[in-house]
Structure 1
Amino acid sequence: MGPVNQDIALDQMEALLDQERQLLQEGRAREAAALSGQKLEALGGVQALMESGILSGGDAALRAQVARISKRAQENTILLEAVRNGINSLLIRMSQSAAGVHVGSYGHKGAQLTFTQATGGYLKRV
């Protein structure tokens, strides 16, 4: 694999991770997830570089780029974890709020008066 191909593979991976980060920070997790296929393809190029031994060479610029890619991947993992935690919290709140709903009114001393078999059709005082 020539230097052009190695630059393309690493640049592509870095650009995809930057795009994923931007989408995650904007709360667009579905669009970020759609990048998975492209990321896998780019990862194949990076893996081919690793297997060829090019990445283990002494090129400081290349090592710096690989370090940036690794750091960005770790940061994106943290963002994805935050998205997952947010979704789990939302599901928990939704299940708890349904259990604590009171449909009714309150008596003159503050006691809850629950409407049973409420189907609507109540008249309002105007």
Structure 2
Amino acid sequence: MSEHRIEEALSTLEDVLVRERELLLSGRARETANLIGEKISALEVFDGVVVNGAENRLRDGQRKRVDAVVGLAKENATHFTAVRNGLQNAISRIESMTDGAYVGAYGANGGQTAFPKATGGYVKKV
């Protein structure tokens, strides 16, 4: 693999991962999808470096950059996990908001009908 392609892949991947981290930290996780094309093409070259044994031919500076890229990827994965957990918690809270609510209808035993168990078809009492 040419020296130029390795340098180009490392630079592109570093740039994409830094932008991805900035988007994640600023709460714009959805916008990271726009980076996927760039990221995949750079990762293909990067994988070629790692999988095909080219890492043995890397200079020390390049090896440090590869380590930095791996570190950035791990950090972004942690941020993605935090975003996912935050969204799951928000969804759980919204779903549980109706747990204690009642629809104003009563069952055969005279007890109120819980909102999550309401199925519709209620007739207004005249």
Shorter-chain TM band: 0.7 to 0.9
Please identify, of 23-32 and 36-45, the stretch whose mean Cα deviation from structure 2 is larger.
Answer: 36-45
Report the alpha carbon displacement of residue 102 of structure 1 after superposing the two structures with TM.
Answer: 6.5
Q: Which amino acid aligns with 2:80?
A: L
Computed over aligned residues only, the root mean square deviation of the Cα atoms, in angstroms, reads 2.1
* Residue 2 (structure 2) aligns with: 2
**Alpha-carbon distance in 2 for matches of 1:78, 1:84:** 10
Q: State the identity %.
A: 33
Deviation string, structure 1 residues 22-54 (Cα, Å, up to 9, x no partner): 000001011013322221111101122234433
* Residue 27 (structure 1) aligns with: 27
Change (3 A) 1:3 1:58: closer
* Residue 68 (structure 1) aligns with: 68
* Residue 55 (structure 2) aligns with: 55
Please identify, of 83-92 and 40-49, the stretch whose mean Cα deviation from structure 2 is larger.
Answer: 40-49
Change (3 A) 1:69 1:26: same
**Alpha-carbon distance in 1 for matches of 2:27, 2:38:** 20
**Alpha-carbon distance in 2 for matches of 1:87, 1:29:** 11
TM-score relative to the length of structure 2: 0.74
**Alpha-carbon distance in 1 for matches of 2:64, 2:28:** 29
TM-score relative to the length of structure 1: 0.74
Q: Does 1:78 align with 2:74?
A: no
Deviation string, structure 1 residues 60-93 (Cα, Å, up to 9, x no partner): 1011000000000000000000000001001100
Q: Which amino acid aligns with 2:57?
A: G
Report the alpha carbon displacement of residue 21 of structure 1 after superposing the two structures with TM.
Answer: 0.3
Count of equivalent residues: 106
Q: Which amino acid aligns with 2:26?
A: E
Gap runs ≥5 in structure 1: 105-116, 120-126
Change (3 A) 1:47 1:58: closer
Contact 2:48/2:54 (<8 A) preserved:
no
